[in-house]
């Protein structure tokens, strides 16, 4: 059954995601709160995606700081995600989700429908296109490091993540009964302007 939702991303975490690698060595970042991943940003990112091309793959680090941060996220039954959008919008977007499930961090490749705002989850997507390098969830945060094949196929679509220009979209939202659900549209969790050409 299709579940609703959005995009994801992954990285290291400390109390807040510092983004020290952003803008260096071909690493592109997007984070929340809005514009936290820009050089000279006043605020640290509480959710951060660091993305880079490494040979024939795209490396993604997603991370989120837990309660006690400005967003005060309870990471139990929560997802964070980064999407690779050719249009700068959610539809027809491959997404990397990182989430806590039964006390363990997991990373999955998902897809936002080409019509509307629905995310189809991961059950009918070839997960061999995503290599999980490392995952972690504890009282300080949630993180996932993955390697995506540079060219991925989802449904009838093929995406070349390293050749075609993409905007990175980042969001967070709740998991319900093991399924990704909609993020809140008016909240500090989602910031469409905070996306960068990749």
pLDDT, tens digit, 9 for 90 and up, residues 117-159: 678 788 889 999 999 999 999 888 899 999 999 899 998 899 9
Phi-psi region of 146 (alpha: psi -120 to 50; beta: other; left: phi over 0): beta
pLDDT of residue 53: 87
- pLDDT grade, residue 70 (50/70/90)? low
Give the sheet arrangement for strand 104-112, strand by strand. Answer: 104-112, 93-101, 78-85, 167-176, 179-180
pLDDT of residue 131: 96
Higher pLDDT, 78 or 127: 127
User: Does position 3 have pLDDT exceeding 60, yes or no?
Assistant: no
User: Does position 189 have pLDDT exceeding 50, yes or no?
Assistant: no
Mean pLDDT lowest among 44-58, 63-77, 98-112, 167-181: 63-77
Mean pLDDT of 17-32: 74
Residue pair 131/147 in contact (Cβ under 8 Å)? The answer is yes
Burial of 74 (0-12, 13-18, 19+ CB in 10 A): exposed
User: Does position 2 have pLDDT exceeding 60, yes or no?
Assistant: no
Q: Which domains does the chain have, with CATH numbers?
A: 28-180 (2.60.40)
Percent of the chain with pLDDT over 70: 74
- pLDDT grade, residue 193 (50/70/90)? very low
pLDDT of residue 19: 59
Residues 6 or more apart whose CB falls under 8 angstroms from that of 126 comprise: 109, 153, 154
pLDDT of residue 152: 93
Query: Per the structure block, which two tokens stand in for 66?
Result: 């837990």
């Amino acid at each position: 059954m299709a579940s609703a939702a959005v995009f994801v991303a992954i990285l290291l975490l400390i109390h807040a995601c510092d983004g020290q690698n952003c803008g260096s060595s071909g690493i592109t970042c997007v984070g929340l709160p809005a514009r936290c991943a820009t050089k000279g940003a006043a605020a640290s990112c509480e959710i951060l995606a660091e993305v880079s091309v490494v040979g024939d793959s795209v490396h993604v680090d997603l991370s989120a700081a837990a309660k006690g941060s400005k967003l005060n996220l309870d990471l139990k039954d929560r997802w964070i995600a980064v999407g690779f959008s050719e249009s700068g919008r959610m539809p027809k977007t491959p997404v990397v989700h990182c989430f806590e499930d039964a006390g363990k961090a997991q990373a999955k490749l998902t897809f936002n429908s080409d019509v509307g705002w629905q995310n189809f989850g991961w059950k009918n997507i070839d997960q061999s296109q995503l290599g999980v390098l490392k995952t972690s969830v504890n009282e300080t945060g949630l993180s996932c490091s993955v390697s995506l094949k540079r060219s991925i196929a989802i449904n009838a679509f093929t995406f070349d993540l390293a050749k075609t220009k993409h905007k990175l979209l980042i969001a967070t939202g709740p998991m319900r009964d093991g399924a990704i659900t909609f993020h809140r549209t008016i909240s500090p969790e989602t910031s469409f302007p905070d996306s960068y050409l990749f």
